[in-house]
Chains A and B, each alone.
Chain A
Amino acid sequence: MMFTIARKEFVEALRDGRFRVGGVLVLVLLVVAGLLARQQVDRARVERDAATSLERENWLEQGDKNSHSAGHYGVNVFKPTSPLAFFDRGIEPFVGTAVFLEAHRQNQSAFLPAQDATSMRRFGELSAALALQMLVPLLIVLLAFGALAGERESGTLRQVLSLGVQPRTLVFGKTLGLALGVATLLAPAAAAFAFLLVSSAPGETSGMWMRAAGLILVYGLYLAVLLVVSVTVSAVARNARTALTVLLAFWAFNCILAPRLASDLVHRFLPTPKLADFDAAMQKDLQEGLDGHGARSVQLDNFVARTLNEHGVSRVEELPFNFQGHVMLESERMAGEVFDHHFGKLWDRIEAQDRAVGWAGIVAPMLALRSASTAFAGTDFGHHRHFARAAEDHRREFVRLLNEDLKFNARPGDHGYTAGRELWEKLPVFALTPVTVGTAWGRAGSSALVLGVWLLAGLGFLALSAEGIRVGDA
């Protein structure tokens, strides 16, 4: 019986003019958004590759100079784009695309694409993710609000129940039928995205398919939640108008209000430090040392004494290497500890904020979905932190290489020492090891769990709502 009801509901959904028109429009938007985003991602990749090779050329062609001067000349590294960014660009427009690596300083990533865009971007970005997060749920609401409330209003619900159909069979049959309708609408979009994924990242698809599977899972859960909530409301509402009003209010809260409200409230309870305070605290620790480490000058004095003692000499000029280079190596190590402490704290705070917003998905499922979607697409803060960390590791290796050259190749007191292309070539090209699929699943896990809880609770309420349907009430 349930499948008969599902088939009838499915056929009705396909015949529904609103669903057909709305569905086709959403489908067109989905595909257009996907294609345009793919074009943008491809362009970004080409531009990044061009900039990377030009920057490498700049580095190699900088001419002969003191190796420490080369450390100040520095090098830019550029952030690679995730192949799945065409589906969900996440925070990518709002984080820097390049990091300038130089001696003594850990720079933050710079050049945010959103800074080079018009203010229209603040309305959101037309992407496949946006369409699935906001437009398809609206379509589901419009499709499902009258599923039971409409029948109750027109009197057909009483007739159906009087035929001996169990309310639970009726409710779940209708849900299944509507789910099939939505799935039919989304199937061509899924096929188009599979094609875009295959053609956009040849050779990178092994992990990508697992990520894509994660995306299918969380979007499937989310849309199922929206459908179950819609049918539940329709089952308990007195008439179609009330069901529609309640569902539109829920949609507006979930899709429009909750994202801003949640990030705002989370920021209030877990604030990000002010830039001036962050910079001042870091400068203070660079000069005075982290707690328990002693001031920088004292640490360096101790370091000099230790070095002289280890080599059994009384003056730095007697050391078998260039002392300046030796001190710079130590100085970078000390600064690295301070950078790790401050940037670590900042990044931990941002991740804590993001986790809190993800858990707020208990109230509005879209928050959990966004969190999981960007984690799988490789466009969340965790992935950006991975890049920033890798860039900083590369910086330290690059500065170490230059300072060691100064230490071992420059004669003590030789201020005219220069190195050349041979040394510059020793600096490896920056290559980012991708975040593993397991890590992405781990990050998205709690949000997927929240969506799972929503679905189970929704199904429970759906069953309960069916219990409440009686021939007399209908």
Chain B
Amino acid sequence: MKLLFLELRLFFAGQATWVVLLVFAGSLIYGSGNGRRAGEARRASAETIEQQNRDWMKQVSDALEVQAIAPRQIASRPTTALLPPAPVPALAVGQSDLLPAHEMISLFRLEKPSEGKAELENPARLMAGRFDLAFVLVWLFPLFLLAAAYDLCAGDREAGTLRMILAQGTRPWLWMGRRALARGAPVLVLAVGATLAAGTMDAAEGTGMRVVLAATVVFAYGLFWLAIAALINAFARSAAAAATAAGTAWVVFVLVLPTLLNVVVESLHPTPSRAELVAESRAAAGAAEQRGNELLSSFYRDHPELAPPGMQVDMVSRVLAVQEEVGRAMDPVRQRFANAFLEQQRMVDIWRYASPAIVMHEALADLAGTGYWRHRTFQDQIATFKNELHGYYSPKFHKRLPLTKADLADFPAFEFVEEDSARWTRRVTTGMAGILVLAALVGVAAALRLRPSRLAA
């Protein structure tokens, strides 16, 4: 313990140490603040939408108090499906600046392309990415950690003092581990502390588990990079060589492997053309439109219970029948699209262990509630809601039934149900286990190399 404190004192005696720690602390504060501001903006926009929905429901309720209403008067107004603000927004902006958090769903446009709009954003800013806490933790944290710990023993070896140290009879791996801890601990403490602080700032209720997991993942990620520093020092003959190797390791794990994985995933499972999907959808709509009356007659043959009195065909019933036909025609195309995308994400889930930076990135977005899977859940629930909306209004239109006050309780309204916590917990914990296994493997490789005879050579 005494030696650990000595190492700490030596570490803090350097001016460069304070510069590194101050810059890192500044980055953490700036990143957390940015994530927090993005979360506040999202919350404000969600509140506006919720208020609009409440106002509309009140108007409908007031109108129904007076008299029954034709369903068209209500169904023609789009319903807004809202993805509620992320549970821990300050952790990571994730995909929330790119993917729309609400979607207008209109009964008469169920088969049209999505009308969800993301916030107005400069595309160059989307390309650069946000300076949020996740950026600081995934990209900068390892850099600062390596800056603090890249020279664990390489400098001593270069100066010839390593032989003297080893002559004291100390076990090399223990000595190096102590030094790594002393140099890495201040950076680690800052990173974990900032994660806990950001996690509790403006977080929704019941998010304690997310915050604790986030701090644990950050800690595991830090251990991995300290293990890398140890491995590099077990081999490097000079401090400059250690710095070169540390820089290269950072580039490989944080820059090259994730971008390479992206390219490989997109090449092996290319997403079908969105442009063609749109054009095909319109072709199907055009064909169905031209067979409109025929489709409606066939629909009434299949569903005589929904046939209106006297089998009169009206515009809305025709639109709904056409829409159903378009949905049937487009289902396989949409399925192909969804499957290709799911394959891409599955491949990322499998290969994320190639780089702890990927695991960390995915885990923080997952825990913040701004990642792919929460949005996917939102999209799946929208698809279900569209069916619900159609199922509710379709019989009323076909049978010319007016809406009454009694119907109010059954009005379809979109309400997002959060993804089962067991699912995201499993994704995050398996990712974290992966980082720890990698850290252990690297650490063991370093320890094996750290024999006195090899180290002093």
Q: Which residues of B contact A278 (CB under 8 A)?
A: 120
Q: Which residues of B contact A353 (CB under 8 A)?
A: 122, 124-125
Q: Which of A97, A126, A146, A245 contacts B262 (CB under 8 A)?
A: A126
CB nearest neighbor in A for B269: A118
Complex Cα–Cα for A119 and B96 (A): 11
The interface bits of chain A over 88-124 (1 if a CB of B lies within 8 angstroms of the residue's CB, else 0) are: 0011011101100000000010111111111111111
Within 8 A of B (CB), among A235-292: 240-241, 244-245, 248-249, 251-252, 256-257, 259-264, 267, 272-276, 278
Q: Which residues of B contact A112 (CB under 8 A)?
A: 98
Q: Which of B140, B240, B261, B275 contacts A244 (CB under 8 A)?
A: B240
- Tell whether A320 is near chain B: CB-to-CB under 8 Å: no
Would B244 and A264 count as touching, CB distance under 8 A? no
The distance from the CB of B89 to the nearest CB of chain A, in whole angstroms, is 16
Stretch from B226-234, B319-327, B340-348, B447-455 that touches the partner: B340-348
Q: Which residues of B contact A124 (CB under 8 A)?
A: 255, 258-259
Complex Cα–Cα for A145 and B94 (A): 36
Q: Which of A63, A125, A267, A357 contacts B290 (CB under 8 A)?
A: A63
Q: Which of A43, A91, A126 contacts B123 (CB under 8 A)?
A: A91
Would A91 and B127 count as touching, CB distance under 8 A? yes
Would A138 and B247 count as touching, CB distance under 8 A? yes
Within 8 A of A (CB), among B106-147: 113, 117-131, 135, 139-140, 143, 147
Complex Cα–Cα for A58 and B283 (A): 6
Stretch from B162-170, B357-365, B390-398, B406-414 that touches the partner: B357-365
- Tell whether B187 is near chain A: CB-to-CB under 8 Å: no
The interface bits of chain A over 339-357 (1 if a CB of B lies within 8 angstroms of the residue's CB, else 0) are: 0000000100010011001
Would A264 and B341 count as touching, CB distance under 8 A? no
The distance from the CB of B442 to the nearest CB of chain A, in whole angstroms, is 21
Would A264 and B131 count as touching, CB distance under 8 A? yes
Within 8 A of A (CB), among B155-202: 155
Would B358 and A36 count as touching, CB distance under 8 A? no
Q: Which of B244, B261, B278, B362 contacts A142 (CB under 8 A)?
A: B244
Complex Cα–Cα for A467 and B254 (A): 39
Complex Cα–Cα for A95 and B365 (A): 22
The interface bits of chain A over 356-395 (1 if a CB of B lies within 8 angstroms of the residue's CB, else 0) are: 0100000000000000000000001100100000000000
Q: Which of A33, A98, A263 contacts B124 (CB under 8 A)?
A: A263
Would A115 and B275 count as touching, CB distance under 8 A? no
Stretch from A46-54, A430-438, A441-449 that touches the partner: A46-54
The distance from the CB of B34 to the nearest CB of chain A, in whole angstroms, is 7
Would B282 and A76 count as touching, CB distance under 8 A? yes
Complex Cα–Cα for A17 and B161 (A): 27
The distance from the CB of B105 to the nearest CB of chain A, in whole angstroms, is 16
- Tell whether A317 is near chain B: CB-to-CB under 8 Å: no
- Tell whether B85 is near chain A: CB-to-CB under 8 Å: no
- Tell whether A40 is near chain B: CB-to-CB under 8 Å: yes
Would A119 and B371 count as touching, CB distance under 8 A? yes
- Tell whether B48 is near chain A: CB-to-CB under 8 Å: yes
- Tell whether B423 is near chain A: CB-to-CB under 8 Å: no
Q: Which of A29, A57, A245 contacts B256 (CB under 8 A)?
A: A29
The distance from the CB of A14 to the nearest CB of chain B, in whole angstroms, is 18
Q: Which of B122, B247, B270, B365 contacts A267 (CB under 8 A)?
A: B122
Q: Which residues of A contact B34 (CB under 8 A)?
A: 264
Q: Which of B123, B254, B372 contacts A384 (CB under 8 A)?
A: B123
The distance from the CB of A90 to the nearest CB of chain B, in whole angstroms, is 7
Would B279 and A51 count as touching, CB distance under 8 A? yes
The distance from the CB of A87 to the nearest CB of chain B, in whole angstroms, is 15
The distance from the CB of B205 to the nearest CB of chain A, in whole angstroms, is 26
Within 8 A of B (CB), among A1-52: 18, 22, 29, 33, 36, 39-40, 43-44, 47-48, 50-52
Q: Which of A39, A76, A114, A121 contacts B278 (CB under 8 A)?
A: A76
Q: Which residues of B contact A120 (CB under 8 A)?
A: 258-259, 261-262, 265, 348, 358
Would A126 and B282 count as touching, CB distance under 8 A? no
Interface size on B, residues (CB 8 A): 76
Complex Cα–Cα for A135 and B135 (A): 19
Would B275 and A78 count as touching, CB distance under 8 A? yes
Would B131 and A260 count as touching, CB distance under 8 A? yes
- Tell whether A210 is near chain B: CB-to-CB under 8 Å: no
Q: Which of A29, A51, A252, A267 contacts B273 (CB under 8 A)?
A: A51
Q: Which residues of B contact A62 (CB under 8 A)?
A: 286
Q: A58-B282, A119-B365 are in contact. Are A354 and B124 (CB under 8 A)?
A: yes
Q: Which residues of B contact A263 (CB under 8 A)?
A: 122, 124-125, 128
Would A94 and B126 count as touching, CB distance under 8 A? yes
- Tell whether B294 is near chain A: CB-to-CB under 8 Å: no
CB nearest neighbor in A for B138: A123
Q: Which residues of B contact A126 (CB under 8 A)?
A: 256, 259-260, 262-263
Complex Cα–Cα for A78 and B261 (A): 28
Complex Cα–Cα for A350 and B122 (A): 6
Complex Cα–Cα for A442 and B267 (A): 35
CB nearest neighbor in B for A97: B275
- Tell whether A55 is near chain B: CB-to-CB under 8 Å: yes
CB nearest neighbor in B for A40: B266
The distance from the CB of A464 to the nearest CB of chain B, in whole angstroms, is 25
Would B122 and A119 count as touching, CB distance under 8 A? no
Complex Cα–Cα for A91 and B125 (A): 9
Would A130 and B259 count as touching, CB distance under 8 A? yes
Complex Cα–Cα for A73 and B276 (A): 17
- Tell whether B289 is near chain A: CB-to-CB under 8 Å: yes
Would B372 and A119 count as touching, CB distance under 8 A? yes
Q: Which residues of A contact B358 (CB under 8 A)?
A: 120, 123
CB nearest neighbor in B for A358: B124
The distance from the CB of A424 to the nearest CB of chain B, in whole angstroms, is 12
The distance from the CB of B60 to the nearest CB of chain A, in whole angstroms, is 22
Complex Cα–Cα for A11 and B254 (A): 32
Would A119 and B266 count as touching, CB distance under 8 A? no
CB nearest neighbor in B for A251: B247
Complex Cα–Cα for A256 and B329 (A): 47
CB nearest neighbor in A for B126: A94
- Tell whether A61 is near chain B: CB-to-CB under 8 Å: yes
- Tell whether A308 is near chain B: CB-to-CB under 8 Å: no
- Tell whether A189 is near chain B: CB-to-CB under 8 Å: no
Within 8 A of B (CB), among A48-84: 48, 50-52, 54-55, 57-58, 61-63, 76, 78
Complex Cα–Cα for A2 and B140 (A): 40
The distance from the CB of A440 to the nearest CB of chain B, in whole angstroms, is 16
The distance from the CB of B137 to the nearest CB of chain A, in whole angstroms, is 13
Complex Cα–Cα for A256 and B256 (A): 13
- Tell whether B367 is near chain A: CB-to-CB under 8 Å: no
Q: A241-B240, A260-B131 are in contact. Are A36 and B263 (CB under 8 A)?
A: yes
Q: A58-B279, A112-B98, A278-B120 are in contact. Are A260 and B372 (CB under 8 A)?
A: no
Complex Cα–Cα for A129 and B275 (A): 26
- Tell whether A180 is near chain B: CB-to-CB under 8 Å: no
CB nearest neighbor in A for B49: A276
- Tell whether A134 is near chain B: CB-to-CB under 8 Å: yes
The distance from the CB of B6 to the nearest CB of chain A, in whole angstroms, is 23
Kindly name the residue among A48, A63, A118, A273 whose own CB sees the greatest number of chain B CB atoms within 10 A: A118
- Tell whether B274 is near chain A: CB-to-CB under 8 Å: yes
The distance from the CB of B50 to the nearest CB of chain A, in whole angstroms, is 13
CB nearest neighbor in A for B139: A256
Q: Which 4 A-B pairs have the closest CB atoms?
A: A47-B273, A51-B275, A123-B258, A126-B259
Q: B residues near A, CB below 8 A?
A: 16, 34, 41, 45, 48, 94-95, 98-99, 113, 117-131, 135, 139-140, 143, 147, 155, 238-240, 243-244, 247-248, 251, 254-256, 258-263, 265-267, 270-271, 273-276, 278-280, 282-283, 286, 289-290, 341, 344-345, 348, 357-358, 361-362, 365, 371-372
Listed A/B pairs (10) with beta-carbon separation below 8 Å: A50-B279, A58-B279, A76-B282, A90-B127, A122-B361, A124-B255, A145-B240, A245-B147, A256-B140, A381-B124
* Supplied contacts A62-B286, A115-B118, A135-B256, 16 more A-B pairs, CB within 8 Å: A39-B267, A57-B283, A76-B275, A94-B123, A98-B274, A110-B113, A119-B94, A119-B362, A123-B361, A124-B259, A244-B244, A260-B131, A263-B122, A274-B45, A276-B45, A357-B124
